[in-house]
Structure 1
């Protein structure tokens, strides 16, 4: 990988967790609350709530807690319709985990922002910029490519290009850091962008390609970048 001028980050599963996408985090919490539906049905309820959240609700100005609460309430009406409090408990757990990860990663991002241009590229609901602002992170990023605002989703090249153009760099001058092989790694690879897979501490699948770097935690990114920075 060439030494980068810019770093692009996914949000869910990357900035707010060490490699676990939201579904993998929500699934055991719903099980713990007593959801006994087949796994495929649980996943459908999650994705129905997730995909339709901006259509069903006005998300403008909502922070992370309010956004997750709506997602869980919608899924909960299918999974545990007679226990609305279960959705509230799941939402609180998810938000607490996310905020702990964001707080852990914030010092890393602050140090990186002194040396690189940073952006977020996320398949989100259209209110990610406000969420980042509420969490005290927005000022670290030169661009926030939220699919709900940009009108394109990863791995479509358009959403990556949207962020790159606002940072004023080419794909070859940036690295993408994300947890999804299909969305983050594949999208970056097609553009010729360096890519870092946040696989978590116990990855179940191999990396996307020989060029991918692999991290267990975002806190290891600075050490991964050190050789490339030294080569500048």
Structure 2
């Protein structure tokens, strides 16, 4: 009997970015004030959260966030200069502060008994270094990374590429991610089941259409195996 397939997003799902976010926020707010913004951390976070909540950052990269924040707090045209100045901090922060979330190996170990595992993530190729150094790479049969595939979520093609590599139909797969627009909606549209992890900045998002309603919600990564078991149990009942 073939195993079901569970795909994971990385950023703010399997990979904890909270330390990086704190580092970035401090450096970015300091740089904004250096350009004359005069914004304290509380107001900076209010602007940041509003941009995330209103979905003004496209695929969600930190570089898109920089541009949108600059539009709000600085005169027109400053965005590219600010982005260039903070780029070294972003690269160093990713290298030093990205880490797998608490319980990541426990979750992957539990799920791998019953399921095959894969990744569908909007990340640059350097994320493969974290996978290798962590020792968690061994759990994944498929690793579909946007920086390598040259496709980005929510483009359905990146999901279809991962399904093809897994040799699976969408209905036999579950997508685990934190974003409604780039993880949950496209996976649902293809016929996958979905688990939304809400230990993320993107918990600010609220569903705007039916495709953004996750099959199950997990308050943190450690709750994902239970959500997956519930989905598989329901699928078993539906077939009987």
Partner of 1:58: none
The answer to whether the aligner puts 1:133 opposite 2:140 as a matched pair is no
CA contact (8 A) 1:49 1:75 kept: no
TM score, norm. by length of structure 1: 0.67
Q: Which has the higher contact order (CA 8 A, sep 6+)?
A: 1
Q: CA deviation at 1:129?
A: 3.0
Cα root mean square deviation, aligned: 3.9
Runs of 5+ unmatched residues, structure 2: 38-43, 49-56, 67-80
Alpha-carbon distance in 1 for matches of 2:128, 2:142: 9
CA contact (8 A) 1:119 1:143 kept: yes
Q: How does 1:39-188 map to 2 (within 5 A)?
A: 46-47=62-63, 78-79=85-86, 87=89, 91=92, 98-99=98-99, 101-102=100-101, 104-188=103-187
Q: CA deviation at 1:114?
A: 1.7
Alpha-carbon distance in 1 for matches of 2:214, 2:83: 41
**How many pairs are equivalent?**
196
Q: CA deviation at 1:16?
A: 1.0
Q: CA deviation at 1:135?
A: 1.6
Alpha-carbon distance in 1 for matches of 2:194, 2:82: 33
Partner of 1:193: 192
Q: CA deviation at 1:134?
A: 1.6
Partner of 1:225: 228
CA contact (8 A) 2:19 2:97 kept: no
Q: Find the residue that maps to 2:205 and give its secondary structure.
A: coil
Partner of 1:60: none
Stretch of structure 1 that moved more, 122-131 or 176-185: 122-131
Q: CA deviation at 1:14?
A: 0.9
Q: CA deviation at 1:47?
A: 0.7
Alpha-carbon distance in 2 for matches of 1:181, 1:210: 8
Partner of 1:205: 205
Partner of 1:71: none
Q: Find the residue that maps to 2:154 and give its secondary structure.
A: coil
Alpha-carbon distance in 2 for matches of 1:130, 1:188: 26
Partner of 2:16: 17
